[in-house]
Amino acid sequence: MPIARQTIVHPKPGMSQRVEKVLDDLEATYAKLPGYVMGFRYKPQGVAGELGRIALWRTQQDTDSAARDTHVQALRSQLNTLIQGEHVEQVLEIEGTPQNLPK
């Protein structure tokens, strides 16, 4: 079953650009790992100071394997030093048939 993982963070003052870079580096790393389908960084409209990323994976096992990657762990550790409080991590089970996914 396809899985989407969403991360929501609140950068410390003056750290937004660095957080954006780390989120982009995470996506670039994930893109090289088995089971990664697609992902991106986003900035919610009307929500000041919040950044996020979402990634689509073929299976839950693929996301679990990616989370154990040492480079991913290093990037996530770096991210934690740049944000306020805890980040929000959601695992979303994809239901129905995803449309227009890249091949």
Is position 103 within any domain? no
* Mean pLDDT within 49-78: 94
Is position 99 within any domain? no
Encoding tokens for residue 34?
Answer: 């088995």
Is position 17 within any domain? yes
Is position 102 within any domain? no
Q: How far apart are CA 32 and CA 87, in angstroms?
A: 24
* Mean pLDDT within 46-55: 89
By the 10 Å C-beta count (0-12 exposed, 13-18 middle, 19+ buried), 3 is classed as buried
The pTM score is 0.87
Q: The domain that contains 9 carries what CATH number?
A: 3.30.70.100
Is position 80 within any domain? yes
DSSP state of 45: T
Is position 42 within any domain? yes
Q: Cα-flanking dihedrals φ and ψ of residue 10, to 5°?
A: -125, 100
Count of domains forming the chain: 1
- Contact by Cβ (8 Å): 83, 16: no
Q: How far apart are CA 46 and CA 99, in angstroms?
A: 27
Its domain, for residue 81, covers: 3-93
pLDDT (0 to 100) of residue 94:
87
